[in-house]
Amino acid sequence: MDQNEIIKVLKEVQHPAKSDRSIVELEMIDNIEIKGDKIIVTLAFSRHRDPLAEYLTGSTRAAIIRNFPGTDVEVKTVVKEEAKPKKKPGLDLGTEEIKNVKHIIGIASGKGGVGKSTVAVNLAVALARLGYKVGLADADVYGPSVPKMTGTEGVIPEAFKENDEKEVIMPVEKYGVKWMSIGYFAQPGQALIWRGPMACNALKQMILQVRWEELDFLLIDMPPGTGDIHISLVHDIPLEGAVIVSTPQDVALADVEKGVNMFRNESINKPIFGLVENMAWFTPEELPENRYYIFGKDGGAKMAAQYGIPLIGQIPIVQSIREGGDSGEPAAMSSRPDGLAFIELAKRLAENF
């Protein structure tokens, strides 16, 4: 006699409380040991003092003796936590809080440092200035910059439990935009270190647990680059499409390509609404009409043509944009040319909807 023969016999032992399914089908066989003439079967139960434990150990012993007369049978029991149904890794936060959001748009870049967060924050402010209801979720978990760029550092968002179950976080409102950032939950300057899955969950919470209410646009400042975190984000959040931010140099082309391919890849497959060429030219403060193409001219237009995406914005490199980022007063609040460049970008983006 071998294990397979014993399993065949145990298939005859039915569980009376579980539609008479067999203990094999119910995966209750924890172990089978054969020691010479002795058979030791261990049955797994999901709780202590299962009222049917005695019945099932008895039926198990009886079934074996019936099929293998003369054998010495011992039936042991062990308590094991019930196998939980296999869930996808990550949190299931539902989509209740985003059901009144019309368009969710990711702001992405192939690499860091190109001004993605600057563009995201200013685009949000510019859309709000045009009269749209706007929110921005800072999903750049590795370097959240929204608190600093909006002058809301140190603000602690209100959070409460609704119906004693789900935690809801209130966004921070300023400049007519609803902001949320993982940075509100960390000490300023504190390094945020996340393992991959934690980062994914944290940023899903930054989006799905926030009481956005009615919004025309929810912009998501995505982490730089391309990777698993983006794929996971797009799977759990109904992102409508993306805007890609780049600087115009030739060397940035490969990064734009990575970003474009990511959104066009079958696992994501979302439209790209446009390319924003940041740092398109330099304009000194004292000579506002002058344009110096320090990173080359028409780089953005060439990239956009190469990948078949519209160039929807050209943002100059000007001191006031950097200063606005550092002081917490976004350049898009102003009527200077740099502020108007963001308003133009906002109009071009909104034309898509």
C-alpha to C-alpha distance for 245 and 228, rounded to whole angstroms: 19
* Nearest to ligand ADP of 75, 120 (CB atom): 120
Q: Give the footprint of ligand ADP on this chain (CB under 6 A).
A: 109, 112-118, 145, 224, 278-279, 315, 317-318, 321-322, 325
Smallest distance from ligand ADP to CB 135, Å: 18
CB of 280 to ligand ADP, least distance (A): 8
Q: Distance between the two ends of the chain, CA-based, in angstroms?
A: 71
Cβ–Cβ < 8 Å for 105, 242: yes
Element (H, E) at 66: helix 53-67
Give min distance, CB of 124 to ligand ADP, in A: 13
Q: Least separation, in Å, of the C-beta of 293 and ligand ADP?
A: 14
DSSP string, 262-298: HHHSTTT---EEEEEEEEEEE--TT-TT--B-TT-SS
Closest CB to ligand ADP: residue number: 115
To ligand ADP, the closest distance from the beta carbon of 141 in angstroms equals: 13
| Cα diameter, the chain | 103
Residue 13 vs 303, nearer CB to ligand ADP: 303
Residue (24 or 202) nearer to ligand ADP, CB: 202
Measured from the CB atom, the residue of 75 and 108 that comes closer to ligand ADP is 108
Beta-bridge mates of residue 79: 45
Q: In angstroms, give the least distance from the CB of 30 to ligand ADP.
A: 53
Q: Pick between residue 43 and residue 345 the one whose CB is nearest to ligand ADP.
A: 345
Q: Compare residues 115 and 259 and give the one whose CB is closer to ligand ADP.
A: 115
As given in the structure block, the two tokens for residue 187 are 């000490």
Give the SS3 label for residue 73: strand
Q: How far is the CB of 351 from ligand ADP (least distance, A)?
A: 22
Q: Is 264 exposed, middle or buried (0-12, 13-18, 19+ CB in 10 A)?
A: middle
In this complex, which beta carbon is closest to ligand ADP, that of residue 273 or of residue 281?
281
Ramachandran class of 273: left when φ > 0, alpha when ψ lies in -120 to 50, beta otherwise:
alpha
Provide, rounded to whole angstroms, the least separation between the CB of residue 122 and ligand ADP. Answer: 9
Q: Which residues contact 225 (CB under 8 A, 6 or more apart)?
A: 109, 110, 111, 112, 258
Q: Is 221 helix (H, G, I), strand (E, B) or coil?
A: strand
Please, which residue, 256 or 315, has the CB nearer to ligand ADP? 315
Q: Distance between CA 303 and CA 274 in Å, rounded?
A: 11
Can you state the angle between helices 3-10 and 53-67, rounded to 10 degrees?
120
Closer to ligand ADP at the Cβ: 134 or 146?
146
Q: Considering the complex, what minimum distance in angstroms separates the CB of residue 325 from ligand ADP? A: 3
| 8 Å CB contact between 343 and 332 | yes
Cα distances from 61 to residues 49, 71, 76, 264, in angstroms, run 19, 10, 10, 60
